[in-house]
Amino acid sequence: MQMDETIAAIATPLGMGSLSVVRMSGKMALPVADQVFRGHKGGKPSKYRTHTLHHGLVGEGRDVIEEVLLAVMRAPHSYTMEDVVEFSCHGGLVSAKRLLDLLLSKGVRLAHPGEFTRRAFLNGRIDLTQAEAVMDVISAQTEGAHTAAVAQLQGHLYRKIEQVYEHLTNVLSHVEAHVDFPDEGLTPDTRETVISHLRDAIEFEQQLSRTARDGHVLREGVRTVIVGKPNVGKSSLLNALLRHDRAIVSPIPGTTRDTIEEVLNIEGLPLRIVDTAGFRDAEDPVEREGVLRTRAQLLGAELVLLVLDSSKRLEKVDRDLLALCKEKPLIVVLNKRDQGQIIDSQYLRDMTTVSASMKNGEGLDRLRETISSHLWQGRSRESFREIFVNTRHHEALQRSSKALQQAMDALKAGKSLEYVAADLRQALHSLGEVNGRSVTEDVLDRIFSNFCVGK
């Protein structure tokens, strides 16, 4: 990536809308703006004060592309810490595209996905955890996910990591000083003090690592699979939870032949809910493929809603499903309570069950409460403002903790301090991967490839 190049991209979603924004960043941003913008009050963008808006036209010669508002943000007081110019024009498919093409014709390069945020990181405005939080804010699907992402964007995780990083750096410096003067060695008291510091650091990193599951819940949602035999009310349950008709409901068994996936907001937490084909021995090849997909969905399920017909005795397919789901977090939905309940309750001992009727809506509030209790599991809304690491952070913290444990074991065994110092350096390197101190280009490429082009 060439940091000396000026980049541009459309920063708003393509399509019909009231507003589109074209963003440009780099040392040529203002000179290029001079070439394409004519302010109604005169003057050139390169002469405008920073953080000011100007009304005018963009185009070349007599060819006017659009009437725009131009925003000037001079380095280092901008998102990328470079000179940034943003053009706000009317929305739609044409205006922003024509304006972007004009900028590119002036020697500006089209930005790569996430390149504006990547420059903000590389120029030191934000650390890597904050850069990742930008994407979390954009992709948040519930209030809880958004609150947690904003907390990370404000640097909560960064400050925690920096605190332990600086602490371990001081420990390493102390150990390396004794490596340089081996005759002095570590006194027993000093050795115990270092071990205590390492033990505290390991505990801190493990505490952070344990937040990865909650982070996954907030960012990705709990993958929840609705299963049951055909015509038991699975699609009706999906529609009832979503409060709109998403799946086709029919008295004909086997109507749902593929999976249907939606995101449901349960009191601020996302539920990624999947409706599946009816589970049975199917002869039709298309329906049989649907049943195979149901099995595949069950393997990755983090919560299962098993729908049973409570007005009938359990059939073999019901018992087979109970056996398949017994190792998964499970809520059994006893549908059709309006038709009377004669289901074999002995098979449902020690299971979480909710009696309901998709036909008249009975029991649905109780079902939502039960799902909510499973999702929250003792959390409070204030917990959204706490720190939640992602999978990449978790893996780096685990590597750092392993290296710290090796350093602590080496100290206890009386090994050479050179081994201890090497383990401490590895621990710091892994910890630095979290906030970007020691991250590689390949890792950056993977992170920012998930961003949209204009962010």
Mean pLDDT throughout 227-246?
81
Please tell me the predicted confidence (pLDDT) of residue 3: 78
Inter-helix orientation angle 364-376/234-242, to 10°: 80
Alpha carbons 372 and 351: distance in angstroms, whole number: 17
H-type alpha helices, 154-223: 156-180, 188-209, 212-220
Question: Same domain, yes or no, for 232 and 199?
Answer: no
Average pLDDT, the chain: 86
Residue 278 corresponds to which amino acid?
Answer: G
Tokens 């504006």 appear where?
116
Please tell me the predicted confidence (pLDDT) of residue 410: 92
Look at the chain and report how many structural domains it folds into: 3
Percentage above 70 pLDDT, the chain: 90
Contact between 255 and 206 (Cβ < 8 Å):
no
Domain membership of residue 175 (yes or no) is yes
Question: Same domain, yes or no, for 256 and 349?
Answer: yes
Tokens of 196: 């205590």
Domain membership of residue 173 (yes or no) is yes
Mean pLDDT throughout 36-45?
92
Residue that wins the pLDDT comparison between 183 and 204: 204
Please tell me the predicted confidence (pLDDT) of residue 244: 61
CATH label of the domain that carries residue 81: 3.30.1360.120
Alpha carbons 123 and 121: distance in angstroms, whole number: 5
pLDDT higher than 80, residue 296: no
Domain membership of residue 125 (yes or no) is no
pLDDT band for position 310 (50/70/90)?
confident
Please tell me the predicted confidence (pLDDT) of residue 256: 46
Q: pLDDT (tens digit, 9 = 90+) per residue, 139-151?
A: 888 888 888 889 8
Closest Cα partner for 9 from 20, 67, 18? 20
Burial class (CB in 10 A: 0-12, 13-18, 19+), 343: buried
Domain membership of residue 120 (yes or no) is no
One DSSP character per residue, 270-298 reads: EEEEEE----S---SHHHHHHHHHHHHHH
Residue 313 corresponds to which amino acid?
Answer: R
Domain membership of residue 123 (yes or no) is no
Please tell me the predicted confidence (pLDDT) of residue 261: 83
Reported pTM: 0.79
Given 327, 355, 382, which residue is the final one in a domain?
382
Domain membership of residue 453 (yes or no) is no
Alpha carbons 228 and 210: distance in angstroms, whole number: 33
Q: pLDDT (tens digit, 9 = 90+) per residue, 243-267?
A: 766 544 445 444 444 567 888 887 7
Q: pLDDT (tens digit, 9 = 90+) per residue, 425-435?
A: 999 999 999 99
Given 58, 83, 111, which residue is the final one in a domain?
111
Question: Same domain, yes or no, for 336 and 225?
Answer: yes
Question: Same domain, yes or no, for 375 and 397?
Answer: no
Burial class (CB in 10 A: 0-12, 13-18, 19+), 440: exposed
Percentage above 90 pLDDT, the chain: 44
Closest Cα partner for 1 from 37, 25, 33, 18? 25
Residue that wins the pLDDT comparison between 295 and 431: 431
Residue that wins the pLDDT comparison between 219 and 417: 417
Q: pLDDT (tens digit, 9 = 90+) per residue, 325-346?
A: 888 889 998 988 888 778 877 7
Q: Is 355 helix (H, G, I), strand (E, B) or coil?
A: strand
Please tell me the predicted confidence (pLDDT) of residue 254: 47
Given 349, 382, 415, which residue is the final one in a domain?
382
Mean pLDDT throughout 19-40?
96
Question: Same domain, yes or no, for 341 and 400?
Answer: no
Alpha carbons 270 and 283: distance in angstroms, whole number: 36
Please tell me the predicted confidence (pLDDT) of residue 268: 73
One DSSP character per residue, 14-54 reads: SSS-SEEEEEEESTTHHHHHHHHEEETT---GGGSPSSEEE
Burial class (CB in 10 A: 0-12, 13-18, 19+), 451: buried
- Describe the strand order of the beta sheet including 352-355 as a list of residue ranges: 260-266, 269-275, 222-227, 303-309, 330-335, 352-355
Alpha carbons 232 and 308: distance in angstroms, whole number: 6
Residue 186: domain span? 130-211+389-448
Please tell me the predicted confidence (pLDDT) of residue 378: 58
pLDDT higher than 80, residue 386: no
Alpha carbons 17 and 192: distance in angstroms, whole number: 64
CATH label of the domain that carries residue 144: 1.20.120.430
Please tell me the predicted confidence (pLDDT) of residue 248: 44
Mean pLDDT throughout 119-126?
95
Alpha carbons 45 and 34: distance in angstroms, whole number: 6
Tokens of 380: 């409070």
Question: Same domain, yes or no, for 250 and 362?
Answer: yes
Please tell me the predicted confidence (pLDDT) of residue 379: 58
Domain membership of residue 189 (yes or no) is yes
CATH label of the domain that carries residue 332: 3.40.50.300
Question: Same domain, yes or no, for 372 and 400?
Answer: no
Question: Same domain, yes or no, for 341 and 195?
Answer: no
Please tell me the predicted confidence (pLDDT) of residue 281: 56
Strand-pair category, 19-25 with 84-90: antiparallel
Tokens of 441: 């280009």
Please tell me the predicted confidence (pLDDT) of residue 289: 63
Please tell me the predicted confidence (pLDDT) of residue 280: 59
Please tell me the predicted confidence (pLDDT) of residue 406: 96
pLDDT higher than 90, residue 100: yes
Helix (H) or strand (E) holding 371: helix 364-376
Alpha carbons 364 and 125: distance in angstroms, whole number: 48
Domain membership of residue 2 (yes or no) is no
Contact between 305 and 331 (Cβ < 8 Å):
yes
Inter-helix orientation angle 417-435/391-412, to 10°: 170
